[in-house]
Amino acid sequence: MTNQTFGYYGQEPDGRGEYLTLAFSPLSAPLRSRWRNNGLSADFLGDYVTTFLPADGSTASAEGGQKEIKHAVTYIANELLENAMKYHEHSIDIPIGIHMDLTGTHITVSATNGISDGQAQRYQNFVQDILREDAGELLVRQLEESALGGGSTKSCLGLLTIINDYGARLGWRFDSHPPYQQIMTVTTSAVLSLSGLAGVSA
Partner 1 sequence: MKTIKGELFEIRLEDDNCTVVFKGALRLSGMEDYASILDLLKSTLARPVKPIVLDLRELDFLNSSGITMFSRFVIDARDQEGISLQFLASEAIHWHARSLKNLQRLMPALIIQLN
Residues in contact with partner 1 by CB under 8 A are: 31-32, 35-36, 38-39, 67-68, 71-72, 74-75, 78-79, 82, 86, 136, 139-140, 143-144, 146-147, 151, 153-154, 157-158, 161, 164-166
Sheet holding 96-102, edge to edge: 4-7, 169-176, 183-193, 106-116, 96-102, 18-24
Give me the least distance between CB of 35 and partner 1, in Å please.
Answer: 5
Q: Which is nearer to partner 1, 13 or 142 (CB)?
A: 142
Give me the least distance between CB of 156 and partner 1, in Å please.
Answer: 9
Give me the least distance between CB of 153 and partner 1, in Å please.
Answer: 8
Give me the least distance between CB of 120 and partner 1, in Å please.
Answer: 21
Beta-carbon contacts of 135 under 8 Å, excluding residues fewer than 6 positions away, are 160, 163, 164
Type of residue numbered 51 = T
Is residue 54 within 8 Å of residue 116, measured between CB atoms? no
Give me the least distance between CB of 146 and partner 1, in Å please.
Answer: 5
How many CA atoms, within 13 angstroms, populate the side-chain half-sphere of residue 157?
A: 14
Give me the least distance between CB of 34 and partner 1, in Å please.
Answer: 10
Q: Which is nearer to partner 1, 70 or 106 (CB)?
A: 70
Number of helices followed by number of strands (H, E) in the chain:
5, 6
Q: Which is nearer to partner 1, 40 or 181 (CB)?
A: 40
Distances, alpha carbon 21 to alpha carbons 27, 133, 138, 143, in Å? 19, 32, 31, 32
Q: What is the dihedral angle through the alpha carbons of 53, 60, 45, 6, rounded to the nearest 10 degrees?
A: -80
Q: Which is nearer to partner 1, 147 or 179 (CB)?
A: 147
What's the full length of the chain, in residues? Answer: 202
Q: Which is nearer to partner 1, 126 or 180 (CB)?
A: 126
Q: What is the rounded distance in angstroms from the CA atom of residue 160 to the CA atom of residue 142?
A: 9
Q: Which is nearer to partner 1, 80 or 183 (CB)?
A: 80
